[in-house]
Amino acid sequence: MNITICFEKLDPTPWVQGLQQAFPEAAVSAWTPGAPQADHAIVWAPPQQFIDEQPGLQTLFNIGAGVDALLQLKLPSSLKVVRLDDAGMSVQMAEYVCHAVIRHFREFDGYDADTGAGKWSYRKPRSRADFAVGVMGLGVLGERVAKALQVFEFPVNGYSRSAKDLPGIRCFSGAQGLPGFLAASRVLVNLMPLTPETENILNHATLSQLPQGGYLINVARGKHLVEEALITLIDSGHMAGATLDVFRTEPLPADHPFWQHPKITVTPHTSARTLREESIAQIVGKIQALQRGDAINGVVDHQRGY
C-alpha cells in the first residue's frame, strides 16, 4: 500500500516519519510532481495538479476541520474525501470559545483597560440567564463547544441544518428555525461548515436579529461573515463586539479595520490546530477499517459540502 502526503506551506517530513512508524506495512512518502501512484493521500490545500496526477487514489484525508477549499478542486466522483473527526481539535475549540464567552460576560476586556490605566474599578455581575449562547453548527466541534458551555451554566442554544436533540440544549434547525435561534442568542458562536448556502450567512439581516448587545464569536470561516455589516452593527450600538479567529484574507492585512477596532478581538486562526499524533492514529485506524470493508466516520458528502 502506498500513502502520499501533499501539503501546501507545511513541512510533510514529520508526518511522513510519524505515519511510517505508526503504519510500517505501508510505503509513505511526500508527494512531488510526477510521483508514483498512491492508494491513499493525506492533504492540506493540495494543487489541482496533485489530483490530476493521482487518478488511482481511493481516499483523500484532509487534516483540517473544514473541506471547503478541497471541494473547490475538480475531484473524481469515486474519490472518497474524509475529514478528521477530532484529532485534538474539539477540546481546543471548547477552550477558545469558553474563554471568549467568559471574557465578554465577565467584562475582562474592560478590567484590562482600567488596570492598564492604573484604575481600580468594579462592575456589577451580570446574570447568566441573560446571556444565552447560541452555537451555530452542531458537528463534532460544535457539540463539544455546546457541552463545555453548559459546565459554566450558560443557557445554550444549538442550530443545525437537520434537527438534533442534545440534552439540556435548546435546538433549532433548518431555514425556518434560524430567526428564532438568533433572537434567543445573546452570544453567537459560528461553527458552521462553509458551503455555497452558508457563505455570507453572518450578514446585516441575520446579525440584526440578535438581541440588543449581541456578541459574535467566529471560529469557522472568514467567508461566513460580511465584515462591513459587523462593523456597522457594532458602531451603531446594536452589537457589543466580536471575537474573530478567521478572516476572508489571511493573514489579516495590516490596514484592516478589525485590528484597531476597540470592540473587536482578533486572533490569528489559532482556535483549534490539528495535532499530528492524534491525526495519524485516526487516519491509520480509518485506513485499516477500510481494508476490512468497514464503514468509517467523516466521509464528506460532495453535494452538501461537509
CA distance from start to end of the chain? 27
Over the Cα atoms of the chain, what is R_g?
Answer: 21
Is-cis flag, bond preceding 251, omega within 30?
Answer: yes
Per the CB < 8 A criterion, the answer to whether 112 and 91 are in contact is no
Please count the other Cβ atoms lying within 10 Å of the Cβ belonging to residue 16: 17
CB burial of residue 79 (10 Å; 0-12, 13-18, 19+):
middle
- Residue given cell 512508524 in the structure block: 21
- Per-residue buried b or exposed e for 154-186, using 16+ beta carbons within 10 Å of the residue's own CB: bbbbbbbbeebebeebbbbbeeeebeebbebbb
Is 170 a catalytic site residue? no
Contacts of residue 221, defined as CB under 8 A and 6 or more positions apart, other chains included, come to 66, 68, 194, 246
Per the residue annotation, which of 40, 269, 273, 302 is the catalytic one?
A: 269
Per the residue annotation, which of 221, 261, 276, 292 is the catalytic one?
A: 221
Is 304 a catalytic site residue? no
Task: Cite the active site residues.
Answer: 221, 269
